[in-house]
Amino acid sequence: MELFVMGLLYCSILFGMVRAYTLTDEQNLRTSLLTGYDSELRPGTDRAFRLDINTSFYLFSINEFDLNTGKLTLTGFFDTKWFDERLSWNSASHNQTNKTTIPQNRLWLPNFVNINPFEEIKGLGNDLVRVRVSSSGICEWYALQALEVICDADVSNFPFDTQYCTLKFFIWGYEPTEVKVNFMSANVILTLYQENGVWDIVSSTTYTQVNFYGFEEIIVGFHLKRRTAYYVTSLILPITSFSLLMGFVFVLPPESGERLGFSTTVLLSIVLYLTLIEGMLPEASEPNVSIIGHILVSYVVSGAIIVVFVILSFKIQSCSRRKPVPRFIVSFFKCCFEEKGKVQYL
């Protein structure tokens, strides 16, 4: 029984060795495939039929999202497949060679061009990327790229804001009747994604649409939500504490002389936080300025009013007791405490 098993194993190894193709086989195959191949012509013997391209987008990481410039940088790749009958062969004629890889610059590629770049317009892939070709003529292209795109930020709810950013592509030079892109997944594939420290991906979408000019747009969209724990502990809680402290300035005894210094110090602290937040937020935001910006401005204005009241209280305290109270102060308190024609004196 053991001899039978060993003999069977030996035959299988020997059969596998006989069927294995060599470097020379693959070289001959590549020469045969690329002889007379024109990479500027799209696949398809019958030009009346369009070429279908199947693709999926895999995201590796979100590298940076600068709200001031609207620059979103991420790394990912398109897993793209199509059929090119010029690259099919009979594997039996090439010592069972059933696949090979060819540099992308020697084959026809679906020319994905980014149309919302942050700086210069670029196509996908580079000379280091290779296309895997099978004997059936199926080409598989992993177009790895670090993409920099424009994403207009809406910081109305900062730091509890969510952003929607898109990658937009054309297959340049072809109409939808000639080349059609089909997404194999309705969402971005995140199996290789590394979490970002600032942003969470709430949802994603991938789809194509025909624009006003009749060209097909390939769109990859992300709904991003900011991680708020850092901003709550380092921003919201401190400024809320400062605003509460400002209200206790009148608890200090007037003779101590610390009211003015205390209120001024708290006011300067609020102004400092306002300066820090202004550095985080973009100068232009649609549709509105951040709510927290309005809150900080109100804190500054109220702090300034309290400082003025502290100065006035010192002024009134230093006045002679025989000097009558100014009429505008009397009128103010009468308006505040008047009820049904009667003045309520506290």
174: pLDDT confidence band, cut at 50, 70 and 90? Answer: confident
In DSSP terms, 180 is beta-bridged to 52
Residue 243: per-residue pLDDT: 78
Residues 6+ apart with CB under 8 A from 141: 78, 79, 80, 81, 104, 109, 110, 125, 129, 131, 132
Position 13 scores a pLDDT of 40
Q: pLDDT (tens digit, 9 = 90+) per residue, 68-93?
A: 788 999 999 999 999 999 999 998 88
Q: What percent of the chain has pLDDT over 90?
A: 30
Q: Average pLDDT for residues 208-237, to the nearest whole number? A: 86
User: Is a pLDDT exceeding 50 seen at residue 10?
Assistant: no
pLDDT of residue 319: 67
pLDDT given at position 343: 47
**Which tops the pLDDT comparison, 285 or 217?**
217
Domain boundaries, the chain: 14-227, 230-343
Specify the higher pLDDT residue, 220 or 123: 220
Residue 343's φ and ψ, nearest 5 degrees, are -95, 125
What is the assigned CATH class of domain 230-343?
mainly alpha
Could you tell me if 96 and 119 are in contact, meaning their C-beta atoms sit under 8 angstroms apart? no
State the amino acid at position 161 in one-letter form.
Answer: D
CA distance 157 to 296: 14
CATH of 14-227, one of 2.40.50.140, 2.40.30.10, 1.25.40.10, 2.70.170.10: 2.70.170.10
**Own/partner pairs for 147-150, CB < 8 Å, 24+ apart?**
147/73, 147/74, 147/75, 147/76, 147/114, 147/117, 148/71, 148/72, 148/73, 148/117, 148/118, 148/119, 149/71, 149/72, 149/114, 149/116, 149/117, 149/118, 150/70, 150/71, 150/72, 150/116, 150/117, 150/118
Residue 136 contacts residue 148 (beta carbons within 8 Å): no
Q: Could you give the percent of the chain with pLDDT greater than 70?
A: 83
| Equal CATH topology for 14-227 and 230-343 | no
| pLDDT for the residue numbered 128 | 77
Q: How confident is the model at residue 235 (pLDDT cuts 50, 70, 90)?
A: confident
What's the pLDDT band for 282 if we cut at 50, 70, 90? low
* φ/ψ of residue 258, rounded to 5: -100, -5
Question: Buried (b) or exposed (e) across 264-301, using 16+ Cβ within 10 A?
Answer: bebbebbeebbeebeeebbeebeeeebebbebbeebbe
Q: What's the mean pLDDT when you consider all of the chain?
A: 81
pTM of the predicted model as reported, rounded to 2 decimal places: 0.76
What is the rounded distance in angstroms from the CA atom of residue 164 to the CA atom of residue 83? 34
Most confident of 119-133, 164-178, 268-282: 164-178
pLDDT tens, 39-65? 889 998 888 889 999 999 999 999 999
